[in-house]
Amino acid sequence: MIQEYIPGDGYGVFALLNQGEPRAIFMHRRIREYPITGGPSTMAESIYDPKLEELGLRMLKTLNWHGVAMVEFKKDRRDGEFKLMEINPKFWGSLDLAIASGVDFPYLAVKMAVEGDIEPDFRYKTGVKFRWLFPEDILHLLANPMSIKDFIVDFFDRETKYNLLISDMIPNLLQIAETIFFVGRSIKNKKLRYPYGKPEISI
């Protein structure tokens, strides 16, 4: 399969709908991702963009969507337009950021299922950042060493949240072990920078 590679940042519109009618929405911008050619967020920020909202909800309303969905775009740096990547019909990997920003999609989805409907609420906090340090952001750094300045500076940003819990460190210890294993395997197979192949365009 041959696909056009769209250079630019990744954006997402996340929504909970009841038979095509929005009940909750959220939007984010990917700050870093792995693979660096395009993949899950390693750090992302909550945003609001009316154009992004209009594009995402127009598709979901047309499909009479019921339940949660993520509509993923890339903002093409060549023309500044949002280009559709996919519609993800499930909870997404960056769900932590939505919850940290004030939109608890799992709770709202259960509440809607039990009660039949919920009151629409489109409020959330923008400017919140969430960082998935192990293994995702470590892998991004190793694949793109030029990002080391931002990688270090982000530790001092008070708006940045983490999936690290001092009160429950066992999952994080397992993540560190997973990171070491994944990095070693990727270096051995020479797939750390481009695990799924290098696109025919400079990154």
Tens-digit pLDDT profile for residues 1-42: 677 889 999 999 999 999 999 999 999 999 999 999 888 999
On whether residue 181 sits in a domain, the answer given is yes
On whether residue 13 sits in a domain, the answer given is yes
Q: What is the CATH number of the domain that holds 86?
A: 3.30.470.20
Mean pLDDT, rounded, of the chain:
94
Q: Are 69 and 14 in contact (CB under 8 A)?
A: yes
Distances (CA, A) of 178 to 53, 102, 134: 36, 30, 8
Which residue type occupies 176? I
Give residues with Cβ within 8 angstroms of 31, minimum separation 6. 41, 43, 44, 45, 129, 150
Q: What average pLDDT does this structure show over 75-84? A: 96
Strand partners, 73: 11, 84
Q: Are 32 and 48 in contact (CB under 8 A)?
A: no
On whether residue 17 sits in a domain, the answer given is yes
On whether residue 21 sits in a domain, the answer given is yes
On whether residue 197 sits in a domain, the answer given is no
Q: Which pLDDT does position 203 carry in this prediction? A: 52
Q: Which pLDDT does position 14 carry in this prediction? A: 98
Q: Residue 26: which domain range?
A: 8-188
Residues in the chain: 203
pLDDT in tens, 85-134: 999 999 999 999 999 999 999 999 999 999 999 999 999 999 999 999 99
On whether residue 124 sits in a domain, the answer given is yes
Q: What average pLDDT does this structure show over 51-69? A: 98
On whether residue 178 sits in a domain, the answer given is yes
pLDDT in tens, 146-166: 999 999 999 999 889 998 888
Domain count, the chain: 1
Q: Which pLDDT does position 167 carry in this prediction? A: 86
Report d(CA 112, CA 106) in Å as an integer.
10
